[in-house]
């Protein structure tokens, strides 16, 4: 069974803290994504990685960075968390060159982050 | 540039009633369109896809969608709602030339007994 695992389902952090959200996939996918999900705004792409050490900014990269040192792992980093980063964060993965024609994005269950 | 618009952030139906969730797209080229479903406390999963073959596409759990080029629409339907259909539904379009999807803002479906 294909699987995308996000390390934490629920996190509570304080303003200014550094936050790491981890995502691991076991499908040998080249592509990995971090989305943010907010009510009324849908899913917005934060960062995309198409290979190890390769990354591309999405629509809302400000305040975030990412790391992809291994193919199976994609980390989202909030250098200094702020209250407006309180949200649901979704990780996804896909095979390179197939997403556009198949729509096959595989999602994790999400990490709900609250910043106080 | 491609985009999708979902009309209605919330839809409520009675169990057994028709489900209709609306999605309109904008694309300068023939689009690839998708519907995803998100059950409570879960990630998204692919429900069905239109990739320029048949215009009526069938998905899982009895859902289907029809691609109508003249109306630039890709509405999702199910003849008879079930309580287990309560979820959030997202329409998406492929961003041509990339491996990315562009998602709509979502429609939350409530099913009443």
What tens digit of pLDDT does each residue of B13-69 get? Answer: 999 999 999 999 998 888 899 999 999 988 999 999 998 778 899 999 999 999 999
A92 part of contact set with chain B, CB < 8 Å: yes
- Decide if B5 touches A, using CB distance below 8 A: no
A63 touches chain B (CB under 8 A): no
The arithmetic mean of pLDDT across residues A86-111, rounded, is: 90
Nearest to B101 among A96, A105, A110 (CB): A105
Say whether residue B55 is in contact with chain A using an 8 A CB cutoff: no
Residues A97, B44: C-beta atoms closer than 8 Å = no
Q: Which of B32, B43, B105 sits opposite A100 (nearest CB)?
A: B32
Whole-number pLDDT of residue B95:
86
Which of A22, A32, A49, A13 lies closest to A107, judged by CA?
A32
Check CB contact under 8 Å for A100 and B42: no
pLDDT for A104 = 85
Q: What is the model's pLDDT at position A1? A: 65
What are the CA-CA distances from residue B5 to residues A24, B52, B78, B88, B105 (Å)?
Answer: 31, 20, 20, 15, 7
pLDDT digits (tens, 9 = 90+) for B68-79: 999 999 999 999
- Tell me the three state secondary structure of residue B83: helix
What is the rounded average pLDDT of the residues B79-105?
Answer: 93
Chain A residues within 8 A of B44 when measuring between CB atoms: 43, 90, 92, 105, 107
Q: Which of A103, A104, A106, A109 to mutate to test the interface with B (most CBs of B within 10 A)?
A: A103
> How far off is chain B from A103, nearest CA to CA, in Å?
6
Over residues B2-6, mean pLDDT? 92
pLDDT of B1: 79
Q: Is the pLDDT of residue A84 over 80?
A: yes
Distance of alpha carbon B94 from alpha carbon A75, whole angstroms: 24
Kindly report, residue by residue over A44-78, the tens digit of the pLDDT. 999 999 999 999 999 999 999 999 999 999 999 99
CB-based contact B111:B87 (threshold 8 Å): no
- Write down the pLDDT at residue A63: 96
Reported as a pLDDT band with limits 50, 70 and 90, residue A100 is: confident
Residues 14-33 of A with CB under 8 A from B: 31, 33
- Pairwise CA distance, residues A66 & B5, whole Å: 29
Q: How confident is the model over A21-31, as a mean pLDDT?
A: 95
């Amino acid at each position: 069974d294909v699987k995308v695992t996000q390390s934490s389902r629920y996190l509570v952090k304080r303003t200014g803290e550094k936050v790491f959200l981890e995502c691991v996939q076991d499908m040998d996918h080249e592509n990995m994504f971090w989305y943010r999900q907010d009510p009324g705004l849908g899913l917005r792409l934060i960062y995309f990685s198409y290979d190890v050490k390769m990354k591309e900014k999405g629509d809302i990269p400000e305040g975030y960075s990412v790391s992809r040192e291994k193919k199976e792992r994609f980390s989202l980093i909030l250098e200094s968390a702020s209250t407006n980063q309180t949200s649901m964060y979704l990780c996804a993965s896909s095979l390179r060159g197939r997403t556009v024609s198949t729509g096959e994005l595989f999602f994790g269950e999400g990490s709900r982050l609250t910043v106080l | 540039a491609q985009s999708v618009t979902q009309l209605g952030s919330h839809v409520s139906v009675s169990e057994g009633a028709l489900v209709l969730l609306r999605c309109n797209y904008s694309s300068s080229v023939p689009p690839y369109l998708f519907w995803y479903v998100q059950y409570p406390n879960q990630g998204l999963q692919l429900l069905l896809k239109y990739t320029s073959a048949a215009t009526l596409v069938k998905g899982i759990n009895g859902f289907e969608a029809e691609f109508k080029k003249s109306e630039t629409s890709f509405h999702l339907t199910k003849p008879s709602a079930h309580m287990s259909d309560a979820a959030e539904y997202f329409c998406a379009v492929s961003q041509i030339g990339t491996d990315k999807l562009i998602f709509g803002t979502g429609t939350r479906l409530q099913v009443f007994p």
